[in-house]
Structure 1
């Protein structure tokens, strides 16, 4: 049996679509989370963002990169905005979008992700005082955009390459909901059959398994895991509905070209001023920053000249040119959180060219995400059916991730399992904690 000293830290890394976190498990089972400095203090949740900007030094122009809280702070302070890239994990299944050009330099998706992972690794080394070369890393049951097992395997391969590029010598992958189960298990003094629901920014994953001190004591077996299921939608999909309903119309999504017809009996133009694909990309955080290209700029300027409502297209141009995806994301997150606690909330998004202030009801929001909710329901029901488990036999449901706060999501589980059996805890760090414990278990096996 190897000791943790001989193999290094028992480290768990949850590289998330929206947030990332790191934890280390000590030999006595105690778990410590890495913390990251911000302008307002420290945080255990590291935003999975990358900011690239040009800086002049000694007469030469260099491209500098910043990640997490530092990336956001540099972006907000910059007079001339660089490129703030969000939700990179959502690209991993794409065989067509392999990279992007920033300031004339080509970067692969793996390159961009590795910059975030490098800073996470260095932060862990500073805090824990040891080199970090090995980690147990979370992965969703189903990646965003995956249609089959081959797509998921392709995404895992790319993610592993990004870890290697960032200085890791070996990576062990574990399903994120199973990692969350390890974290929940630490709270138990008896065995349970549990359903884990892990809601990330881009994926919703579920696992049904036996956990508890008795399971640990006798040693886990493959039979303890009764089944996994997942789908490539979660918080980002809910965000997209808000953008579509509240933001895109103010940016011209329902605007048309001007009619140049002279005859009074000829119909007015019904040609959209802006191609629909631009608004589709606006709804997805991982695509929004890639709208800042010369091609899109030319399309939008031409659309502004032909539009019935040029001021709306001008607002869209400003949002893209100023790379205001982060501000838009924050506005969407605020209203979504407010609606988790109140029956109505005010959505506000303001910049130099637009001022959107409107009241949204929880009923409105739940209507917008109704299809997504049905997909989650079907995924959970399919897991129970495939595993041959009656909902009444499940002792506890443990939900983790930011989307688990949404009342309509909680109702899915409370309806099937009763409210008394549904629990949440450490919504943004449970997976990292569990991954560290899993790493410790691997070291001791």
Structure 2
């Protein structure tokens, strides 16, 4: 379905990859070239826009408090530079299928989930409009094969409906949706001079999605048909789940999750488990900076058999070091993608952690997630009736596609020589822009 909005907006094809962790935008210009939007970050430019909102309260000249919000890299930078922390909100995409999570309260005001998402989308739209000199009102939007938490088709439709509403609130007059792995296939197809049957694996922060489809110049020439897409599959987990395992298995024990304390001549867990659960997503750590939690941790430190570990946890909570902690997790994951051994390193709050980790140990932590990904790939092959030998190429995209254990899932079925990658963090936006251009030509 083509764009039915303003004449000005009709001249630019826009691909919009709104992700759980990062978002990106690409456009096809008048010369049919795909260009990525770029965003200022730490004195440089980046094509990745962190899917984060930061709220703070500021006093105006009359001393009245006003709530101010920032999105993307600017939100992260402002949060890190501010002593008195405001409220960080992220991973909003992973809540789209939830009918119980309608929104949240920030500084006394209730915000619907769609409104929170729209604030990020609005910043992205305005920035991209400014960069390319055209008012953007239409976009081809990526969507996962299966949204996080979606169990039925009604859940899927509900998620898409909420996302559509968020785009409308952000000033878009019309949007079309395309499966994210199909969008990645458009990026790969642009490099081909022959026909192929390909399997696309798209690994985001919250979902892992797979598609089997036929691509190539002949497909583009005759026009794509439903028969070219042989099947889709997906699971509601990916990079965020890997990070949570590292926190749970490696970091939390160093901060006392396995420690005990004496209570009435009995040995009990020193700290309630729910406190450590809040470490597994970095922005949740801000929720622990309450008087109630401080009292719990102070009491635990007095009674604990390993008080130094509880002291380290107190330092991380008091100084709100969740972002820095998870950056260290990302660095460890990156190093383990390149070597069999690495060291987790974190310094902050007057303490430091240096813990050796093997790739084999990390892979044992994410065994369940790897099995779920394997199951989704095998389900796709069975349901589409395609034997692995019939697949010409496998194109992997997204950050977790670098994890060796993930790549082995595909190498064991298709052989290393058939695995391809490239532009792992922007290939979906790139492909969505190509898909948008195709849609505009058809419309």
- What TM-score, normalized to structure 1? 0.92
Displacement of 1:289 in angstroms is 4.5
Matched, 1:336 2:319: no
Which residue number corresponds to residue 406 of structure 2? 409
- Matched residue, 2:139: 135
* Equivalent in the alignment of 1:213: 217
Distance in 2 between the 1:303 and 1:172 partners?
Answer: 53
- State the Cα distance separating 1:297 from its structure 2 match: 5.3
The aligned counterpart of 1:187 is: 191
2:395 to 376, 393, 398: 398
Question: Aligned residue for 1:430?
Answer: 427
Specify which of 345, 356, 359 is matched with residue 356 of structure 2: 359
- Bigger shift: residues 38-47 or 291-300: 291-300
Deviations 1:310-336 (A, max 9, x none): 554444344344332211221111010
| Equivalent pair of 1:91/1:286 in contact (CA under 8 Å) | no
CA RMSD of aligned residues (A): 2.2
Task: Work out the CA distance in 2 between the residues paired with 1:426 and 1:347.
Answer: 27
Structure-2 separation of matches of 1:273 and 1:95: 35
CA shift, 1:57, in A, is 2.4
Kept in 1, the 8 Å contact 2:256–2:271? The answer is yes
Aligned to 2:82: 78
Q: What corresponds to 1:113 in structure 2?
A: 117
In structure 2, how many angstroms separate the alpha carbons of the residues matched to 1:331 and 1:401? 19
3-state DSSP of counterpart to 2:146: coil
Q: Counterparts of 1:6-155 in structure 2 under 5 Å?
A: 7-58=10-61, 59-155=63-159
Could you tell me how far apart the structure 1 residues matched to 2:229 and 2:53 are?
36
Q: Equivalents in 2 of 1:426, 1:395: separation in Å?
A: 20
User: Offset at 1:298?
Assistant: 5.9
> What is the CA–CA distance in structure 2 between the aligned matches of 1:84 and 1:166, rounded to whole Å?
20
Q: For structure 2, which runs of at least 5 residues remain unmatched after alignment?
A: none
- 2 CA distance for matches of 1:214 and 1:43? 35
Other-structure match for 1:350: 347
Structure 1 stretches lacking a partner, 5+ long: 262-267
Per the TM alignment, residue 260 of structure 1 is displaced from its structure 2 partner at its CA by 2.1
* 1:371-414 Cα distance to aligned partner (Å, 9 max, x none): 11111111101100100000000000000001111111111111
CA–CA distance in structure 1, aligned partners of residues 36 and 121 of structure 2: 16
Q: Which of 271, 276, 287 lines up with 1:274 in the alignment?
A: 271
Tell me whether 114-123 or 102-111 shows the greater mean CA deviation.
102-111
8 Å CA contact 2:201, 2:209 repeated in 1: yes
What is the CA deviation profile of residues 129-157 of structure 1, one whole-angstrom value per residue up to 9, with x for unaligned ones?
A: 11111111111111122222222222222
Q: Please, which moves more after superposition, 109-118 or 378-387?
A: 109-118
* Secondary structure, counterpart of 1:389 in structure 2: coil
In 2: Cα distance, 1:190 partner to 1:65 partner: 48
Distance 1:217 1:27, change over 3 A: farther
Q: How far does residue 359 in structure 1 lie from its aligned partner after superposition?
A: 1.0
- The 3 A distance-change label for structure 1 pair 19 and 145 is same
Once the two structures are superposed, residues 313-369 of structure 1 have per-residue CA deviations (whole angstroms, 9 ceiling, x without a partner) of: 444344344332211221111010011111111111222154211111111111111
1:353/1:86 Cα in 2 relative to 1: closer, same or farther (>3 Å)?
farther
Match of 1:265 in 2: none
Q: How far off its partner does 1:94 sit?
A: 2.1
Structure 1 residues 109 and 303, CA gap change in structure 2 (3 angstroms): farther
Counterpart-to-counterpart distance in 1, 2:374 and 2:264? 49
Q: CA deviation at 1:431?
A: 0.2
Q: CA deviation at 1:6?
A: 6.6
Q: Deviations over 1:414-443 (max 9, x none)?
A: 111111110001000000011111111111
Alpha-carbon distance change, 259 to 147 in structure 1, aligned in 2, over 3 angstroms: same
Match of 1:264 in 2: none
Structure 2 CA distance, aligned partners of 1:56 and 1:311? 40
Q: Which residue of 2 aligns with 1:421?
A: 418
Between 364-373 and 202-211, report the one with greater CA deviation: 364-373
- 1:226 lines up with 2:230 in the alignment: yes
SS at match of 2:354: strand
Moved more, 193-202 or 281-290: 281-290
DSSP-derived class of the 1:258 partner = strand
CA contact (8 A) 2:201 2:208 kept: yes
- Work out whether residues 136 and 173 of structure 1, in 8 Å CA contact, stay in contact via their aligned partners in 2: yes
**Which residue is 1:202 aligned to?**
206
